[in-house]
Structure 1
Amino acid sequence: MAMTWRWRHLGLLLLALLAPLLVSWWLGGHEALATIGAFPGPLLALMGIITVLCWNLNAARWRLLLSGRAGHLGQDGALAIEMAVKFALCATPGGSGGAATFLLLLARRGFPPARATAIYLVDQSCDLLFFAVMLSLLVAATLTGAVDWPHRTLIGAASLGLGLVLLGLGLILAWLPWLLRRRPWLAWPGPRRRRRFARQLLSGRRTLIATLRLPPSVLASIFGLCGLHWLLRYSLLYLAVLGIIGQGGTLADWAWTFLVQMLAMAASQFSVLPGGAGAAEISVGALLLPLMEPGQVAAAVVIWRLVSYHLYLLAGAPVFLIQVARWLGRPVAS
């Protein structure tokens, strides 16, 4: 059964790697391939440099979030964790391997999984908060008439959904001790497992609260690094579009491509392929088609996914293998 699962996973990963080319051929055919061949090399190199910079920004964020609680963690070590986690996230359906890899690597450093989960939750919450702020600004821009974008209802729904997710996380954090005292929802395990599970949840809650109580300057730096990372990473599609159309864009154009990527990444969560392949390409293509020719859209999608997905797999695979091999012999924290 394990071998069957591995072959199926390999097949899904191969399909995910081919998805941008398949979608591009469907949208633009030979015209898309010719446009990709004419893409400026220096601009593609700049996109690669931005990707590497994004990895380093996230690595610095991990160091601030952990604050020495997982032993000494230099920039190189944090960068290795970041690249290994991103590889696992891109190589597994729904990104399920990302969190598991993060917990494993921190456990090998003596940081218990329950507490590591809290750190990972703070990191994800920081991302959600940034997206909520950006969506609110974009909604305000559409309501004031500063820009005239399509799909206004979709933008508003996405903003409301993010707000509800953040509110739900906050309520669960605040009411967790009360929820644990309500035994019916924890009645399925035995008393010993129930107590252990409750201790792990409370330990994670304490770690989360301790992280949120870091000095305001540290929290501001974490959020600043988060915002800078996403501003740079979600500029990749804008650069891909500029390289395809061969002319300057405006701030509104950048904001639209930023919004397109946010909505596409949300849609990619419903894909069964690793990295949200298929859903991400189709979503971006559908949102760009009103503004560009089909062949141009297809080429932009290929270039964008090459830098924002395939590069993560290519560069992260050896780091992931080295990290797993290095920590396999160490005791796991409980």
Structure 2
Amino acid sequence: MSRVILLLVALLVAVLIPSLLGGNETWYRLRHFPLHWLLIMFGMILLCWVLNTLRLRLLLGDQCHKVGRLKSLGVVMAAEFAYCATPGGSGGPLTIMALLSRQGVRPARGSAVFAMDQLSDLVFFLCALSGILIYALFQHLSQRMEWLLMVSAISMFGGLVSCIAVARYHRLLIRLSGRLLARLNVKASTRLRWARKLLHFLAAFTDTLKLPRQTLIKVFALTCLHWGLRYSVLYLAVRGLGADLQWAWTFLIQMLSLSAGQFSLLPGGAGATELTSAALLAPMVGKSTAAAAILIWRAVTYYFYLVVGGPVFFLLLGRPLLRKLMRLKQA
């Protein structure tokens, strides 16, 4: 119940921040926003779900026959809902692994699929940010934008280097973590079980990396299409409101805002995402336009995920739990 209250408070804060920023003019701009543009945005999100479903099935490799196409779409939609409804998106990977496990996919393989999915995302954002940096060399930027670009590039590169280091020196990592856990008085059986799980995950992740090169290229291409579509929503919202802003800056604003939302540990980054995007977007297009664009962007990429993904999440995870409770009552 406390998590539901936290989600509702976060949603309220997410709506209030842009509303207070733009004032009454925000609602005037929203009423005059072209309806067909809004329908196009929702269609883009539906296409994003299809692209992620294809990506999931490719990463499952020889295990994809265990998860039907419709069920794979359900996994993607339920996971997106969990990302948006839990602090820091922590429920997303747990949802993916739980649903795949119920279809007969081993937990280690499920976690490896999720890790490969995240690695593909990280490589895409690093490439996209590199392109924006090259583009920015020929533009006149403020000191704040230059600083944000550099921090983003360093953090992305650091994340990629960390992933490579963990994969390369995993044996040393297991030994060091084992010594640390021993000093914390963790039982030897527990340490052994955690080390075994980590080794199973690394083995499954290695198998995923050994997928045919053509398959990995398709996965990355789907990743680029997915994020390209999803990160075009704010750009279309700004253009639909009559403002002129380059796509590269809307991409950067979304990336920084969503990152700030993740660090806030609020459901879906609600509140922190709106505050950060408002601070970055308002100086470029004005307060009322920025407020209206943020509300449209979050309605399409956040509230829509909650409204449509929620029933799917309940059907896939809530119904089995309900059946279990009914069996206990009958007993």
> Using the alignment, how far apart are the partners of 2:82 and 2:46 within structure 1?
17
Give the equivalent residue in structure 2 for 1:148. Answer: 140
Q: 2:286 matched to 1:289?
A: no
Structure 1, 150-159 or 112-121: larger mean CA deviation = 112-121
Q: 2:118 matched to 1:121?
A: no
Alignment TM-score, normalising by the size of structure 2: 0.92
Cα contact 1:177–1:202 (8 A) shared by 2: no
> Using the alignment, how far apart are the partners of 1:96 and 1:197 within structure 2?
20
1:198 to 177, 184, 195: 195
Per-residue Cα deviation, 1:240-275 (whole angstroms, up to 9, x for no partner)? 101111x6x57xx01110111011111111223210
Q: 2:120 matched to 1:107?
A: no
Determine which structure has the larger helix proportion and give its number: 2
> Using the alignment, how far apart are the partners of 1:44 and 1:117 within structure 2?
35
Structure 1, 258-267 or 321-330: larger mean CA deviation = 321-330
> Using the alignment, how far apart are the partners of 2:156 and 2:130 within structure 1?
10
> Using the alignment, how far apart are the partners of 1:140 and 1:181 within structure 2?
42
> How many residues in Structure 1 have an aligned counterpart in Structure 2?
318
Cα contact 2:58–2:64 (8 A) shared by 1: no
Pairing 1:146-185 to 2, within 5 Å after superposition: 147-150=139-142, 151-182=145-176, 183-185=178-180
Structure 1 residues 307 and 269: CA distance shift in structure 2, 3 A: same
Give the equivalent residue in structure 2 for 1:274. Answer: 267
> Using the alignment, how far apart are the partners of 2:45 and 2:141 within structure 1?
28
> Using the alignment, how far apart are the partners of 1:292 and 1:181 within structure 2?
53
1:23 to 17, 26, 31: 17
How much has 1:327 moved relative to structure 2?
A: 4.7
Cα contact 2:57–2:64 (8 A) shared by 1: no
Pairing 1:1-334 to 2, within 5 Å after superposition: 6=1, 8-69=2-63, 71-143=65-137, 145=138, 147-150=139-142, 151-182=145-176, 183-187=178-182, 188-245=185-242, 249=244, 253-328=246-321
> Using the alignment, how far apart are the partners of 1:279 and 1:101 within structure 2?
24
How much has 1:42 moved relative to structure 2?
A: 0.4
Cα contact 1:71–1:109 (8 A) shared by 2: no
Gaps of 5+ in 2: 325-331
> Using the alignment, how far apart are the partners of 1:238 and 1:282 within structure 2?
18
Per-residue Cα deviation, 1:9-62 (whole angstroms, up to 9, x for no partner)? 122211222233201221111100111111110000000000100011111100
How much has 1:185 moved relative to structure 2?
A: 2.3
> Using the alignment, how far apart are the partners of 1:198 and 1:70 within structure 2?
27
Cα contact 1:70–1:110 (8 A) shared by 2: no
> Using the alignment, how far apart are the partners of 2:304 and 2:141 within structure 1?
31
Structure 1, 106-115 or 315-324: larger mean CA deviation = 106-115
CA RMSD of superposed structures (Å): 1.7
Cα contact 2:74–2:312 (8 A) shared by 1: yes
> Using the alignment, how far apart are the partners of 2:7 and 2:82 within structure 1?
11
AA partner of residue 83 (structure 2)? L
Cα contact 2:55–2:219 (8 A) shared by 1: yes
> Using the alignment, how far apart are the partners of 2:320 and 2:56 within structure 1?
18
Cα contact 1:70–1:106 (8 A) shared by 2: no
Give the equivalent residue in structure 2 for 1:3. Answer: none
> Using the alignment, how far apart are the partners of 2:219 and 2:283 within structure 1?
37
Gaps of 5+ in 1: 1-5
Structure 1 residues 149 and 233: CA distance shift in structure 2, 3 A: farther
How much has 1:326 moved relative to structure 2?
A: 5.0
